[in-house]
Chain A
Amino acid sequence: MTKSRRVRMGVSAILILAMLVPIAIVGFFALSLANIQRNEAASQVAADLSAKYGANAIARELPIDMITERGTSIARDNWTHGGNGQDSNLDKGQVAVEIEYGSTRFVNDQAEFRLGDEPLNSVRVKTAVPAGIVIFGKPIGSILVDSAAAVANVERDLCLVIDRSGSMTFDLTTHTWSADKSAHPKNRLALSTNLSKRSAANQWWWGWPHPENSRWAEMMPAVYALADELEKTKQSELLSIVSYSSQVTENRWDQSTELRSYSSLESTIEAQPTLRYADVVSALEHKYNEVMPIMGGTNIASGIDQAAAVLTGSRSRSFAFKTMIVMTDGQHNVGRSPVDAARDAANRGIEVFTVTFSHDADVATMQATAAAGNGKHFHAADGETLRQIFIEIANTPPGVFIE
């Protein structure tokens, strides 16, 4: 009886105490997991902020050495945990930080970081630190927790290259401005008492776009829409405008019905890179409705060359993607091939988008031009389609975390 009692007594205690060992192991395992998670969060914050600051610093063209030093410091300093009013005494030297620079391209709508590529617009930061089992606040036995973040400055300098050849005064369907010329709001010649002026009324429209029926008038809302969309995007895109036709000097009736000599250049910089989108578009509209007639042939290559000079000039940003949108309503008939010009622009790191407008446009040549310029081609049969295309081009991804 006595023996049996001795054997049985304390069995439950032994059992529970024995169970404490696996429970403690499971507990420490849970603590380790929690600690690893905490480290992962700290690691990601460190990498994200370091990369974000680096991308911003690149945009401001700070020296790479300085960016690397500050990025490393941000990554290391952020490896902290909270607690009861104190940050952990983690040795900052344990935090490995690697900062890489490159370029980000969008391939099939996927951002792709390319190490060392130009334009230099992206930063990738990798961080790693040992973390693991914690006993009394001290890590013992560790695994490596690592994180990576890449931030791209997907900023663009955009140049709109517009056609101001004589055909831009035509309407979209009849290939000429077929409306009653005397109905043109600026055509005061038809009302003139001077017979020679009245007889010239039928040619007067040739230089000044009709504010409702002309291709120019159809294009302008699309240009305004482009400016509006750029205002809405998060990034600060610099917009420049180049116009082109051909070099001609001709007599045109001016706004006071006087015959004057006007000279058209092959290409003109209408606006240097700027953030004041609406102002430059409105100035463009005023100029070609009131000050300078639209005339000449179609030298698309001169427009592309001029735009390339603007986009690589001192007022553009070295880290930004360069894109030009070349719009034409007609066929290239002066100067060198636009395909060659686009290829040259592409060699200078510029993407060439082409937009054909109206049925007269040489779609095949402009498709080849876009292909040579590593861009895309769009066709618009009417003003509304052109507006949608410009909106689509304006809406490209902003500066983003890509990893």
Chain B
Amino acid sequence: MPRISIRQHFRKLRSKSRNRGLICRRGVEAVEAALTLPLLLALVFPMLHLTHNWHTEKMLKIAAFEAVKVLGHRDGTLERAQSTFAEYATAFGIEGAELELDPSFLSGSIPTDSAFWVRGVAPQLQNRLPLPLNISLGSQLRSGQVFYRKEG
């Protein structure tokens, strides 16, 4: 069997491909991938964003829960509750979080056994994943309301 160089070997292969008419396949995979990949990413990235947002909302709710325990206590004050909330939110890595209060707080202290709620709120921009295709519609991440009654 005659010995051929590597260069000759590849030249021979290219020649075979040309003969089979497959030369026009070059780049087809890239085009197909370019067409379908956005579909794939449109599925994956929003899922990542959604689960991340849910996780952040969950952690905001836990921080609000800790704040409510302080605020609901007989001697609980708003300042101590806000400080507790900030402490937990920081520990959870949430930036710019704030405690949103039941409007009844504006009228002063909460009487014993009265119901009230709080919730954690954080700007989405500061807490989003560094990925494209964020489908979230709002500018704020908000936990669910945490309801309680003032202890006596």
Contact = CB atoms under 8 A, between A and B. Distances in A.
Contacts of B47: 27, 30-31
A49 B140 CA distance: 26
A13 B33 CA distance: 7
A17 B32 CA distance: 10
A19 B36 CA distance: 11
B17 to A, nearest CB: 11
Contacts of B29: 12
The prevalent SS among residues of A at the interface is helix
Interface string A77-103: 111111111011000000000000000
Interface stretch (B7-15, B53-61, B78-86): B53-61
B25 A5 contact: yes
B51 A49 contact: no
B57 A38 contact: yes
Interface in A15-32: 16-17, 19-20, 23-24, 27, 30-31
A12 B39 CA distance: 14
B contacts with A: majority SS = helix
B78 to A, nearest CB: 18
Contacts of A288: none
A42 interface: yes
A16 B37 contact: yes
Interface size on A, as a range, is 35 or more
26 contacts: A1-B20, A4-B20, A4-B21, A11-B32, A16-B37, A20-B36, A23-B40, A23-B43, A24-B43, A27-B47, A31-B47, A34-B50, A37-B54, A42-B144, A45-B146, A53-B151, A70-B149, A73-B115, A78-B144, A81-B54, A81-B57, A82-B60, A83-B57, A84-B136, A84-B138, A84-B140
Interface of B: 20-22, 24-25, 28-29, 32-33, 35-37, 39-40, 43-44, 47, 50-51, 54-55, 57-58, 60-62, 65, 68-69, 72, 113, 115, 117, 119-120, 136-138, 140-149, 151-152
Interface of A: 1-2, 4-5, 8-13, 16-17, 19-20, 23-24, 27, 30-31, 34-35, 37-38, 41-42, 45, 48-49, 52-53, 56, 60, 70, 73-74, 77-85, 87-88
